[in-house]
Structures are given as C-alpha cells and as structure tokens.
Amino acid sequence: MSPRTDLVTALLGIWFGAGLMIDAWAHSNLAELETFFTPWHAVFYSGFAVVSGWIIWQVWRNVRAGRQGLAAVPTGYLGGLMAIPAFAAFGLADMMWHTILGIETSIDIFFSPSHLGLVVTMMLIITTPLRSAWNAPHVDARPRLGRLLPALLGLAFATTLVSLFLSYGDALHYRPQAIVQAFSMAQDSGAAPQGSGPRPVAVGADRVAVAMVVTNVIMLSPVLLLLRRWLLPFGSVTLMYAVMVLMPGAQTAFRNLPILLSFVVAGFVSDLLIRRLRPSGERRAAYWAFAGLSASATWSLYIGVASATGGGLPTVPELWTGAPVVAGLIGLALGALFLPNAVTAQRGRGDRT
C-alpha cells in the first residue's frame, strides 16, 4: 500500500482508539452505567465502522482491478480484514452480555470474555499500518519519521489497549503524592487499587514497585520490537510515549498529569539515546545498552517528577535509588530476549516476512 493509504488507515484507527479511551474515561469517572447504548460507545463503534469500511474498500479496489482471492488483499492487511467480522461478533456478544448480566464497574471489566475478544481483534485492526510498513520493500532500515508515522501510531494505540487491560498494575495511575508516600514506607499499607479509576493516596511500596515492573515491560517492548526492524528516526519514541499515556490519562481524568508528562520527556531522552547509540538488530551491544539505559532513565524521571511535585524525596533511600536500577536490569533482560543474537543484514530482510 502507498504511505498515504496507510496514513489514512492509521488516522481512522485513531478514531477507533479514541472512542475506547472515552469509554474507559466514562467507566472510571462517571456514576454506575446501566446501559450499553451510550455516546462513548457510539464513538467507539463508529470508529470501528469507518476503519473497517476503509480496509474493505482497499480489498474491493483490488478485486475490481482483476485480482482474485488473497492476491486482492494488500500486504499487511489480511489480519485486520479477518478481525473485522470477529470484532463485530464480539461486539454483539458484548451487547447481549451487558443486557443480561449488567455493566461491569470494577476490575471485572478487564476479564469479561466479550471485552477480551474485542481488544484482541481491535489490536489486529489498528496495527494494520505496522504490518504494512514492516513488509514494504521500499521502507529501508533508516526511514524518515513521516514514512514511519502510520506504523508508529498503530503500534502506540495497540499498546494503549494492553495498558488498559492491565491497568490494575499500571504505574501511570498513581499521583505524585501517592508515589512519594509509598516509597517512604517499606511495609504495604494494605490499600487496594479502586478499579480502573484513580489510585488511593495510601498505597504500599510493593504495589507501586510491581506496577513499575508491569508498566516498564508494556512501554518498552514496542520500542524494542521496532528497533529490530528499523533505526528509528528522531522523535519516534516521544510520539509513541505521548500516545501511550493517553489511556491512563483518560482513566484518571488527567489528574496525574505530572507523571504522564514525565513519560513524554522519557520518550525524548530515549530518542536521544537512539541517536547516540544507533541500536539495531546488527548492533546487539548497542541494542542491549539502549534497552537498559532507556528503562533506567524513564523510571528515574518518574521518581524525580513525583518527588518534585509530590512533596519531596521519599524517606526510604533504598527504594527510590534502587527502583531505576531494577528497571534498567529489566530493560536489559528485555533487550536480551528480543535480540539474543545479532541479526545480519540478510536475516533482517528475512524478518520482514
């Protein structure tokens, strides 16, 4: 597909993803919902309709041009095409589920079978531009930001879906004061997260520490995936992190804005690291170094911003000094898992299939 076609697919996917964010905001911040038919569901499902219609239209154009069977499906678009009827079926099942059993209002929303079906098929649809660019022969190993933009948007919005369904372990939900207080005590306070909404102020260090591990993996993994295929142009990680923080921002009504902004800054720092280290599948040492340093810098900023806006440094130094080190080691481990062996240029082309 042409870059312009992929960009339209990505932009329509934003409509789709934004609809889910609005729905997540409603479930987290409004009073108990009693019906499936809501304005935010209208935005969500209309987004599905327009992006699905666009994908089907691309296939139909090829059919009219004389292509038959799978040859009519643009490269990278097959997964999204197959997910369209599956998403519609899960949407119908979700409506029936809510009609019979009611609307979920707490952590059970993330374990509903119909919701899990919707999120998996939605991921296949909105990552269509990523698969298209990944397999495009004219996208070289050092693409410009504009050429890679559809893929970045698709993968970033897909990551927000993962963060949504793991939001009970999302470190971006905590406010600065809660982070400082948590790292000022070594014992768990016993306070439990309240569904997908804002975290309580009294929360134990163990909960924040576990959430940092989960979020570290969720945020860094997509970047490491892309770095196996391309040397990312400057601004790529900043853009992706700016999109990724929108989901926890919507769920908390952006009441934890300093923490969200710390991740956008962390994306900028990661872009600087990419420019300096030039990590790639062929440069394993640089790839590993980036994974560890990016993770450590991200969570140093997280704790630093929390301290600056939440009342000062935590009183347990082992916690706030060691947490970025743990994050860096986890990042290094992720780097080794994503790239255990250096990928030669010839194997790198093979990875595109």
Do the Cβ atoms of 344 and 284 come closer than 8 Å? no
Q: Residue 194: what pLDDT?
A: 40
* CB proximity list for 136: less than 8 A, separation 6 or greater: 1, 75, 76
| Token pair for 146 | 């504009």
Range 225-233 average pLDDT = 95
Q: Residue 33: what pLDDT?
A: 56
pLDDT tens-digit readout, 235-283: 999 999 999 999 999 889 899 999 999 999 999 999 999 999 999 989 9
Residue 340: what residue type? P
Give the burial string for 306-341 (b: 16+ CB within 10 Å, else e): bbebbeebbeeeebbeebbebbbebbbebbeebbee
Q: Where are the domains of the chain?
A: 1-165, 169-353
Q: Residue 193: what pLDDT?
A: 43
Q: Residue 32: what pLDDT?
A: 63
Percentage of the chain modeled with pLDDT above 70: 88
Check pLDDT > 50 for residue 199: no
Average pLDDT, the chain: 87
Q: Residue 122: what pLDDT?
A: 94
Q: Residue 104: what pLDDT?
A: 61
pLDDT tens-digit readout, 20-72: 888 877 777 776 655 556 777 788 889 899 999 999 999 999 999 888 888 99
Range 182-205 average pLDDT = 59
Check pLDDT > 80 for residue 205: yes
At residue 172 the predicted structure's pLDDT band, cuts being 50, 70 and 90, is very high
Q: Residue 27 carries which DSSP code? A: H
Q: Residue 72 carries which DSSP code? A: G
Q: What is the pTM of this model?
A: 0.87
pLDDT tens-digit readout, 300-328: 999 999 999 998 999 999 999 999 999 99
Range 115-124 average pLDDT = 92
Nearest CA-CA partner of 310 in 180, 171, 172: 180
Residue bearing tokens 């130094």: 317
Q: Residue 58: what pLDDT?
A: 94
